[in-house]
Each structure stands twice: as C-alpha cells, then as structure tokens.
Amino acid sequence: MKAGAFVGSLDDERIVAAIGDAERRSRGEVRVHVADGPVEDAGAAARADFPRLGMTRTAERNGVLILVAPESRCCAVVGDEGIDRHCDPGFWKAVVEAMREDFQADRFTDGIVAAVTMVGDELARHFPRRPGETDENELPDGISRG
C-alpha cells in the first residue's frame, strides 16, 4: 500500500484520542509516526527516528514510538530506557504482532489504536499518575509523518 492511501485511511482523531487516553493514565508519552517511502528495517528506522522526534527528551525517559511504514508493510515499537527496563523482553514484539493482525485485515486505525492502548496500559502500570500532581504533555500527540 502506498503511504498516501494508508494515511488517507487513518482516523487521526481516533488515534490522537487514544494517545491522549494513554497519556492521561500515566506519566509516559506516546508518539505515532508514519514513514514516507520504503523502510528496509522498521526497528532500525524507529531507533533512528527516536531521537530525531524528541523521544529522548522526556523527564523520566518513558517515551514510546510506534512507527508504521506502509509502503514496506512493516511496523515497529520502541521504548526509551525508562520504560524499556520495565517491560518483558517480548512486550514490544507482542504490540507489533497485535498491530499486524489488524493491518492484514485492512483495519489500520484499529491496529494503531490497539497498539497505543497496549503501550498505555504498560506505561500506566510502571509510570502511574501521582495523585494531585499535574503531568506535562512533553511531546505532541498528533501523528507525525515523514
């Protein structure tokens, strides 16, 4: 699928709402990035894009990047060191597999929302909101593209 058709099929409002929900339940940050053009290795691309997208600038190093490369039909999920040290080794792969199942059925928004929800659950488990503390939104919630 071409990136333009994929992007056009996404319900940005629903995805941004899922990101907002995940972040309201935790002190973590979630970003969704859609790559333009082919990507040979989604994991390597996500790790390369991670600092470029500001993911390492969160106070608790608990940002998570969900990268989707529609032209290459691949995706990856990468967490910063703060959240990564708490996750089981197979967690990020499980999130990717959940997304792939929806993507194979052409349910692209559903797949991304499911991934954001899974990540939000993990962030809430390890970085719950503290009573009475306001949480700063450290990263934009919109879908980035490029």
| Architecture of the 3-131+140-145 domain | Roll (3.10)
For residue 107, the surrounding DSSP H or E stretch is: none
Q: Which tens digit of pLDDT belongs to each residue from 12-61?
A: 999 999 999 999 999 999 999 999 889 999 999 999 999 999 999 999 99
Report whether 37 contacts 3 (CB < 8 A): yes
Mean predicted lDDT score pLDDT of the chain: 93
DSSP result, 9-54: H--HHHHHHHHHHHHHTBS-EEEEEE-SS--S-HHHHHHHHHHHTT
Q: Which tens digit of pLDDT belongs to each residue from 127-144?
A: 999 888 887 899 999 999
The Cα 46–Cα 130 span in angstroms is 30
Q: 7: pLDDT confidence band, cut at 50, 70 and 90?
A: low
The Cα 83–Cα 122 span in angstroms is 8
User: The pTM is what?
Assistant: 0.94
- Check residue 8 and give its pLDDT: 77
**Residue 6, pLDDT above cutoff 80:** no
Q: 126: pLDDT confidence band, cut at 50, 70 and 90?
A: very high
Q: Which two tokens stand for residue 123?
A: 């962030």
The Cα 114–Cα 119 span in angstroms is 9
The terminus-to-terminus CA distance of the chain in angstroms comes to 16
- Check residue 5 and give its pLDDT: 65
The Cα 128–Cα 131 span in angstroms is 9
